[in-house]
Amino acid sequence: MNVWQFFASHRAEILAATHEHLSLVLISMAIAVAIAVPLGLALVTHPRWRAAALAVASIFQTIPSLALFGFLIPLPFLGGIGARTAIVALVLYALLPILRNTYVGLTGIDPAIIEAAEAMGMTERQILFRVRLPLATSFILAGIRTATVITIGVATIAAAIGAGGLGTFIFRGVAMVSDAVILAGAIPAALLALLADFLLGLLERRLRVA
Amino acid sequence: MEYRISGRTSLPVLSGISLKIHQGETIALLGRSGSGKTTMLKLINRLRTCSSGDLLVENRPVRDWDVIQLRRRIGYVIQEVGLFPHFAIEQNVCLVPGLEKWPAERIKSRFAEVMQLVGLNPVEYAGKFPRELSGGQRQRIGVARALAADPAILLMDEPFGALDPVTRAELQREFLALSRKVSKTTVLVTHDLREALLLGTRVVLLDAGRIVAEASPGDFLKLDQKVARDFIAASELVTGAAQ
């Protein structure tokens, strides 16, 4: 059976898996953004924690993804078999690019602008939220974009711990030694990644302040 | 008064500084790069703090001031202008009145007022962004922003330094007219002798962190200290070459 025949005969199943995949990614990204962006903001006013926070986030990224899923399974609350564990792992993966870009974006602003803000009598908080954050938006979004593309890829491995998604076809195809089945998972995953990259790229350009 | 960079044991950036600035004066702080003139300016609004000695603003030591209050009472213009690229001109200019929670009506009328002072049409420029303006226009906006909350004190760090000579001369003339109208106590940092003599009511020459000469613009050229003579000679050479 070639790949197109497989697509045609399993259309509903592939669509459902794509939907599952997308929810894994969206939920993970929402949580990762909710953690990493405020953390990045906090690091600007507490630079002592910068090295530690970035190091921890980097360590998560160096753990091979399959191993990270494996480590999480025995943990209470966070672990187990299924989507919840997968989301925890995906969040840990997405943290670094978002955190790093948030921090770099917030602190990489032209010093003349920050000094002008100080000289105008803006408080540290006002500078953070009215000057740094709006000027860093496109940078932060670039981090989110990178993280989203990574997450779409890594989420295929989540099928190994029973979280579903497009990885289901990939693992099944590997077991069956069938390229057609592998591609049924890999092609939609690649298309999702390209689409996310394109759309977030558009948004990033729109929000950029010259 | 003395200023050292903390943690360094090398020579202080500024030392033995004693200067009294009277209300309504325009002090031109003149000196070459690295002479400490910008540092001196930043000590006044506490972007830097003195290591020893006292610096008083309105008879009160700067360290006793609430730093936010102090800065909002002092207008500040810098060479790179430092306009906020994500704010429209009106937001840029009205920043401090906004922070000080002026009523919206008053902010609006004040915007029109200061824009007229710097010679720009308030209606035309209100919604524009800094990137849409020329260097000269941005610099005028920088001045308008510094004047917006009607501060008694104005600090200017080479405000016209980045402009072409023609625009610079034009802005200097306008600033002279404007400073007569608004009568602020002004400290102007410059390395341009001509600008210091034109705009200053008193010229203070800094060299290696010390005040080496102080004179009215009329008397400055007659000074016979070596540092002052060298500075004047160098400036004449530059203008001579340009002609």
Average pLDDT over chain A, rounded to whole? 91
B-proximal residues of A, 100-129, CB under 8 Å: 110, 112-113, 115-123, 126
* Residues A19-66: tens digit of each pLDDT: 999 999 999 999 999 999 999 999 998 988 988 998 988 888 888 888
Domains and CATH numbers, chain B: 1-73+154-243 (3.40.50.300), 87-151 (no CATH)
The residue among B71, B92, B150 with the most chain A CBs within 10 A of its CB, best to mutate, is B71
CB nearest A116 (choices: B72, B78, B129): B78
Q: What is the mean pLDDT of residues B179-194?
A: 87
Q: Determine, for residues B80 and A112 on separate chains, whether the beta-carbon distance falls below 8 Å.
A: yes
d(CA B238, CA B170): 20
B-proximal residues of A, 77-96, CB under 8 Å: none
Question: Chain B contacts of A126, Cβ < 8 Å?
Answer: 99
Q: For residue A134, what are its two tokens?
A: 């709006």
Least confident of B2-11, B32-41, B105-114, B153-162: B2-11
What is the domain class of A13-207 according to CATH? mainly alpha
The 10 Å CB-count burial string (b at 16+, else e) for B155-188 is bbbbbbbbbeeebbeebbeebeebbeeeebbbbb
The residue among A118, A120, A122, A137 with the most chain B CBs within 10 A of its CB, best to mutate, is A120
Average pLDDT over chain B, rounded to whole? 84
Which helix (H) or strand (E) element contains residue A6?
A: helix A3-9
- Give me the interface pTM, i.e. the ipTM: 0.82
Least confident of A4-13, A144-153, A184-193, B11-20: B11-20
Q: Where are the domains of chain A?
A: 13-207
Span between the terminal Cα atoms of chain A, in Å: 53
pLDDT at A153 over 80: yes
Closest Cα in chain A, distance from residue B44 (Å): 10
Is the pTM above the cut of 0.90?
no
List helix spans (H) across A11-49. 11-45
d(CA B124, CA B130): 13
Helix (H, G, I), strand (E, B) or coil at A208: coil
Q: What is the mean pLDDT of residues B72-91?
A: 88
